[in-house]
Amino acid sequence: MPKMKTRRGAAKRFKLTGSGKLKRNKANHRHMLVRRSNSVKRKMRQSALVNKSDEKNVRQMLGV
């Protein structure tokens, strides 16, 4: 049986934490930042965890 291939787009977007959870970056931080407040832009720099309902699909894409 051949090896599972990793979805390269997913590999660039998601990382595994030390405890095995999936880490992601926040969205909407690419353009149109002039109208957003500084606090919102600052919060978007922080990473977040993948939602429980999406975790199975992301793990499958990563081959984890």
- Domain of 35, CATH number, reads 4.10.410.60
The model's pLDDT over 10-45, given as tens digits with 9 standing for 90+, comes to 999 999 999 999 999 999 999 999 999 999 999 999
DSSP letter (8 states) at residue 51: P
Residue 49 lies in a domain: yes
Range of the domain at 49: 8-62
- Where does 1-64 have alpha helices with state H? 8-13, 38-45, 52-62
Q: What is the reported pLDDT for 38?
A: 97
Residue 29 lies in a domain: yes
Write down the residue that tokens 């600052």 correspond to.
Answer: 42
Number of neighbouring beta carbons within 10 Å of residue 22? 20
Q: What is the reported pTM?
A: 0.83
Residue 52 lies in a domain: yes
- Total domains in the chain come to 1
Residue 13 lies in a domain: yes
